[in-house]
Chain A
């Protein structure tokens, strides 16, 4: 009855395919290409041929020559990669656990459920830069957090702050901002769990903790996997949180100790060093790809559909 309508379908898909060809697929190939070009200049689109050096330069292994001296660019290895890894492995697990607890709590209370859900969702509809600036006021050396904890004058993120303290402030902000999306996803997952499982647990006098670990978490595993994959990818690419909260590359003048990998990539565009930026982007892509593949592999054993 329904006939194949090939050409018509391609007409409907036309806009999407053209736009994606220009702004998604071509850039993907082109960026990989640029990563292998020596001394590429995007203004003139000229280069000195094919090279593997860019990856070495990004990782601080190959030096670049400038007026007779060889410089090693170590910002990525020393700051960008460690910072990104800290963000990934601190904020993702913590925010996932906290939002899971909040979602389970919200799911079990009889009163104020709707209003609580709304409150917990508010951070989602805010501007990452704007709220980052609010957190900068909270974490000011004369700010409210120092006032409450009795350490007025010790900087968190202002010039002269230690890298550790700045990273703590950054992680707190990222976790705060990551909660609403995860809570919402978990809540929609919890709504789909059959009440029978909990009744069975009640008859067996299972403790609340056991119910959580043996029923809720396994039945919620598809949502947990989804949240983990999206937030791992997201935090590997963290950039706006740093710009919003700290607004510069480092906690002291000229320092780049607040660099993340993506921060570095964007900086290369302004410095006309996109071949290094491209190399870093390719490396980041490979890491994310490997990480996502690993999660899917683990999920085959751990996720119950």
Chain B
């Protein structure tokens, strides 16, 4: 298969994730969309790793996965605190910090 297929798929996934982050109001959905974006990037890394015959890309993927795990832990913790304090999971209700 051509590398372009992988890259197009990666770009599609990244776009879907980005649009989701901007449009979704539920915190859990936003976190899921971020996960999609990260994995889209991972797909690109893997494709290039195979294409160039190097392991650098795969090393980066591990880093991204570690960061994603940490981000998920912190993000879900924030979601729980938000629900406890506001009784909602909508990101639009967490708008106290503004001008």
Are A and B associated in one complex?
A: no
Residues of B near any A CB (own CB < 8 A): none
Using CB atoms and an 8 Å cutoff, list the residues of chain A in contact with chain B.
none
